[in-house]
Structure 1
Amino acid sequence: MRRGPLVLLPAIPILALLSAVWLPFVNTRSLWLGMPRLFVWCSVWVMLITPTLFVVDRDRRRRLSLATTDIGTGAASTGTASTETRSAAEPRR
C-alpha cells in the first residue's frame, strides 16, 4: 500500500524542536507569557505532536479501509488489515 503525503506531517514539530536552540528569536533571555521563550516554544511543539500523529493515523486508517473494502470492483483485499494487531477493547469499524 502506498503511503500518503501526510506521513511527513510529524516531521514539522520534530524539526521545530530540534532547531529550537539555533533559532535566534527563540533562544534569548526574554520571556513569552512570563516563561522563557525556549520553554514555551518546546512546550507548544510537544503538544502539537499528538494532533499531527492523530491526523496521520486517521489518514492511514482511511486508506486501509478503502484498500480492504474495494466495493464494486471485485478486487482482492491487500491483507494488511489481518496483520494489524488490535486490542480486545478496540471495536472494529
Structure 2
Amino acid sequence: MKWKVHDFLEITEIDGQWIVLDGRENRFYGFNPAGGQFLKQIKETGDFNRAVQILSEQFQVSDQQIRQDMSEFLKRLQQQGWVIQE
C-alpha cells in the first residue's frame, strides 16, 4: 500500500531533532528520531514496508515492533490530515 504526505508539510532534521512545519496552520511540531525518519521515508517513497525496514535496521528493533508502532503513528498522521493512502 502506498502513502502520500501532503505537500504542505515540510520535514527537516536539525541536530538530530526532527521538525515538521504544517504550512496550513504555520505551526511547528517536534518528532522523535523514529517518527521523523518514518515520516521522511513515507514522504520520499510512500512505501510503508520500506520505511519499516529502514527504521528496523537503523534502530536495531524488530520489524514486528516497528510495524506495530508505526501503524499507530500512521493512524494519527491520517487523523491530522497529513497523510493519505493512495
TM-score w.r.t. length of structure 1: 0.28
Q: Which structure's residues are more often helix, by fraction?
A: 1
Which one has a bigger Cα radius of gyration? 1
Q: Which structure's residues are more often strand, by fraction?
A: 2
TM-score w.r.t. length of structure 2: 0.29
Larger RCO, structures 1/2 (Cα 8 Å, 6+ apart): 2
